[in-house]
Amino acid sequence: MALKLNDHYLQKFIRPQEYANMQPAITAAHELLVSRQGPGNDFLGWVDLPQNYDKEEFARIKAAAEKIHAKFERAARRTASPGSIPMEYELIAAAREKYQSDHSEQTEGA
């Protein structure tokens, strides 16, 4: 995965020649990361994390999230009965939308 630097806000502080001067150090740091030979090389699991992760654990997390979402949806449907607070919020929101649309039509015609 390649990174691209957006230097729009850096242009006031770093001149193009300074980027060129930094390139050898950047290349050396990149090579150390890719080769996993530099100091701290036992802490480089993040380098390939987007491609190399525990897919079974991710599937378990995703299944748990779907289960929680389904429980929430069922609970929301149960509480959205006439007189319940969620139903009242929906009515207030609908009334507010109606008022705003009526009000914007009045101001546009004026």
- Give the tens place of pLDDT for each residue, 34-53: 899 988 988 988 888 888 88
Q: What angle do CA 84, 87, 88 make, to 5 degrees?
A: 85
Q: How far apart, in whole angstroms, are the C-alpha atoms of residue 10 and residue 14?
A: 6
* Tokens standing for residue 93: 């929101």
Higher pLDDT, 42 or 83: 42
Give the global pTM. 0.44
Distance of CA 26 to the CA centre of its chain: 28
* Tokens standing for residue 33: 């990361």
Specify the DSSP class assigned to residue 45.
G
